[in-house]
């Protein structure tokens, strides 16, 4: 091969790669602000093609896969006429899915498939985000009023389907204190990649826990409260003929069915490896949260931070909070507490047991039938009891007191 031919061949190879790299920021912006599913998916194809040459492509592709996993879940629920219970007891079921006047019938197997597709989408997101090097210089400006998902399967991403609108439904307090116009653009950097990857593992843990069990009896006996027109076994007998949307507390029949659901959480193990993987995902979430804060502490700028450190002063325009060193230190204590419980180094106390505690590692690694009521009253946790160091209420109360008036849960949902 002559020198000139080699140079020409090298140029032919490098020009497309350079073009792909140059187009990544544009494709990332397009994917995270598209007004239609077709436009978003076209931009995602570009990002996937450039993953090997630009860490920003993996970062943006992982972010898009995270939101499309949520979209897959929302659309699966919408297809069958889901009505949100607006309850923290069913966290995966709180998406603000629009009404569907003509829902399709739903079976237990189809509902499991919806959860499995959701989990697989999150796994793809976490895989992409894990590809990003720790030292990658990442920055994507994301406007939460333009970032959205297609909740109702019409192919468009409307104003009521953007991230801010969805978060406002999930947290009505945001409607009482609306953010300033134009303040919802954040610069998502390398630290936020760890944050999003951690959330993917958190949600995978929830999906895997459900899928680890046979919950057909609960589905058949109570899920008509969530899908009142999807042809579930008890629909004709127990669902009122005229329905009005509302949360569980707002309708007596839904209160009754929620009590039925609690009673019917007696779930034999179906796939024990998934209950084990739920623990693995939770441990990975803890690890990623530590990486997140390590990256935050290394930042020297203060540019529209999604999760600012104590050295990045200013009240967050969405959370309305300012992060302090006390809260960050307390969060790391919470991570150690969670890790110790998941590893069985500390035991979870039970009000009926005086000298032993629940080994949460054994709970996940040696799964037996999960009975919610009997876990609360005691019999179902006996197989997981062990001797050892118990987590004390004094430790827990001391930790909570360090998060100020907003409370631990507010920071936990934000910090992940």
- Give a yes or no: residue 263 inside a domain: no
Cα(74)–Cα(161) distance, integer angstroms: 11
Domain membership of residue 192 (yes or no) is yes
Radius of gyration of the chain, Cα coordinates, nearest whole angstrom: 23
* Residue 382 counted as domain residue: no
| pTM (global) more than 0.75 | yes
* 181: in domain: yes
Residue in this structure with the two tokens 């307090």, named with its chain if needed: 173
The Cβ of residue 3 has, within 10 Å, a number of other Cβ atoms equal to 7
Of 35, 63, 28, the residue nearest 49 (C-alpha): 28
Structural domain of residue 49, as residue ranges?
A: 19-213+269-294
The helix or strand, by DSSP H or E, that contains position 385, with its residue range, turns out to be: strand 385-386
> From first to last of its 416 residues, what are the pLDDT tens digits of the chain?
443 333 333 333 333 444 344 489 999 999 999 999 999 999 999 999 999 999 999 999 999 999 999 999 999 999 999 988 766 556 567 788 999 999 999 999 999 999 999 999 999 999 999 999 999 999 999 999 999 999 999 999 999 999 999 988 877 667 667 777 788 999 999 999 999 999 999 999 999 999 999 999 999 999 999 999 999 999 999 999 876 655 555 578 888 999 999 999 999 999 999 999 999 999 999 999 999 999 999 999 999 999 999 999 999 988 888 999 999 999 999 999 999 999 999 999 999 999 999 999 999 999 999 999 999 999 999 999 999 999 999 999 999 999 887 888 889 889 98
300 and 312 Cβ atoms separated by less than 8 Å: no
- Residue 234 domain-assigned? no
Centre a 10 Å sphere on the Cβ of residue 15 and count the other Cβ atoms it contains.
10
Angle at 215 between CA 70 and CA 234, to 5 degrees: 95
Domain count, the chain: 1
Q: For residue 203, is it within any domain?
A: yes
Selection from 61, 56, 55, 58 nearest residue 42 by Cα: 61
Structural domain contains residue 378: no
What does the alpha-carbon distance between residue 359 and residue 261 come to, in Å, rounded to a whole number? 26
**Cβ distance 118 to 67 under 8 Å?**
no
Distance CA 339, CA 342 (A): 5
Residue 172 lies in a domain: yes
* Cβ neighbours of 93 (radius 10 Å): 17
């Amino acid at each position: 091969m002559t020198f000139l031919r080699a140079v020409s061949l090298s140029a032919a190879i490098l020009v497309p790669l350079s073009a792909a790299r140059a187009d990544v920021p544009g494709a990332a912006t397009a994917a995270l602000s598209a007004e239609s599913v077709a436009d978003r998916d076209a931009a995602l194809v570009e990002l996937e093609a450039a993953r090997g040459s630009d860490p920003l492509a993996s970062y943006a592709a992982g972010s898009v896969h995270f939101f499309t996993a949520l979209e897959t879940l929302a659309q699966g629920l919408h297809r069958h006429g889901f009505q949100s219970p607006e309850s923290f007891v069913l966290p995966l079921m709180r998406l603000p899915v629009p009404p569907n006047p003509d829902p399709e019938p739903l079976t237990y197997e189809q509902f499991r498939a919806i959860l499995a597709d959701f989990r697989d989408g999150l796994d793809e997101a976490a895989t992409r985000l894990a590809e990003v090097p720790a030292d990658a210089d990442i920055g994507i400006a994301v406007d939460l009023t333009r970032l959205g998902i297609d909740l109702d399967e019409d192919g468009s991403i409307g104003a009521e389907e953007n991230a801010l609108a969805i978060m406002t439904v999930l947290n009505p307090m945001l409607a009482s204190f609306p953010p300033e116009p134009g303040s919802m653009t954040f610069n998502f950097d390398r630290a936020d990649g760890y944050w999003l990857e951690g959330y993917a593992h958190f949600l995978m843990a929830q999906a895997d826990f459900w899928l680890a069990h046979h919950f057909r009896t609960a589905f058949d006996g109570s899920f008509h409260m969530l899908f009142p027109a999807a042809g579930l076994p008890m629909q004709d007998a127990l669902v009122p003929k005229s329905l009005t949307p509302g949360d569980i507390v707002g309708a007596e029949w839904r209160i009754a069915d929620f009590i039925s659901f609690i009673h019917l959480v007696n779930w034999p193990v179906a796939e024990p490896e998934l209950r084990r993987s739920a623990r693995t995902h939770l441990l990975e979430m803890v690890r990623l949260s530590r990486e997140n804060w390590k990256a935050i502490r290394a930042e020297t700028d203060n540019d529209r931070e999604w999760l600012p450190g104590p050295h990045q002063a200013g009240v967050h325009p969405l959370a309305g909070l300012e992060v302090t060193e006390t809260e960050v230190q307390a969060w790391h204590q919470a991570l150690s507490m969670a890790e110790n419980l998941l590893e069985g180094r500390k035991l979870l106390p039970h009000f009926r047991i005086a000298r032993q505690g629940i080994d949460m590692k054994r709970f996940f690694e040696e799964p037996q039938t999960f009975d919610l009521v009997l876990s609360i009253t005691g019999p179902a946790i006996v197989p997981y009891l062990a001797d050892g160091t118990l987590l004390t209420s004094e430790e827990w109360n001391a930790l909570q007191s360090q998060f100020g008036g907003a409370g631990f849960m507010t920071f936990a949902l934000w910090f992940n």
